[in-house]
Amino acid sequence: MKDIDFYFFSGTGNTLLVVKKMRDTFEKNGITVNLHKIEESNPDEVNLEHMIGLAFPVAVFSTYPLVWDFIESLPRASGTKIFMVDTLGGTSGGIVGPLRKIVAENGYNPVGAMEIQMPSNIFFIQDEETNKIKVQKGLEAAEKYALNIINGKAEWGRVPVLSDAVNLFSRSTLKLTGVDLHQKLFLFKVDKEKCNKCGICVGLCPTRNIMITGGNYPVHGLNCQYCLRCTSLCPKHAIPCSFNYKGKTYSAVKAKEFLKRKNL
């Protein structure tokens, strides 16, 4: 294990923090780690000579369509080692088993899976001190998991029937709420009294769903996957989320961390 290519997607920063912690742990043990944003990566360019890491947040017991699209487009392998880690505020049930099945059938060697509790970024946002403690515990779990991968102690189990059913339900629900319900009834709209037209939300959006033209206010299109980057990381809090209690938001990092192209 000399090189790891770590592909990740992070909504409001929890997964990014975990990935960085794992990268630092690997590198302290002499392993080179290359970080790649999933939304900017081409599956055809994956180096099968390196160990592969996958990291992403949980969404509706599973994860986002853009993450599944990347995973299901990975090239055929012949024993390339692969591990996964996800971050979640509650529970999943539809990721670990189905993902193991996909990568194993595609020729990869699944060596580890871990789900790490981090602060929730939707519905009820807890207080800052509680979130700080959760982040600390999550990063401790990430460090331990990386060491287990290095020492060959990580595991990637599978619960076939139940997890497959949850995965099917989750992906169908995300499609329904993302395209049919959210896009038509709960489309994000900018609060023009708060927005200063800085354009940060445009750069943050992983699906290029937000546009600014001719000095106008940002407009959301119909390709939202509800990752909450725009509403949680807007410096002016100008993109309200109607599902959050009292309009509170949570982000683990500042917007600039997502706008960086290099040196993550």
**Per the confidence metrics, is the pTM higher than 0.85?**
yes
Q: Residue 197 has which token pair?
A: 């037209």
- Give the pLDDT confidence of 193-207 residue by residue, as tens digits: 999 999 999 999 999
Rounded distance between C-alpha atoms, residue 19 and residue 3, angstroms: 15
Q: In this model, does residue 159 exceed pLDDT 70? A: no
User: Chain-wide mean pLDDT for the chain?
Assistant: 87
> For the chain, what are the domain ranges?
3-164
pLDDT band at 100 (very low <50, low <70, confident <90, very high): very high
CATH superfamily to which 3-164 belongs: Flavodoxin domain (3.40.50.360)
Q: Give residue 253's pLDDT band: very low, low, confident or very high (50, 70, 90).
A: very high
What band does 136 get if pLDDT is binned at 50, 70 and 90? very high
Say what the pLDDT of residue 230 is.
93
For residue 167, the model assigns a pLDDT of 55
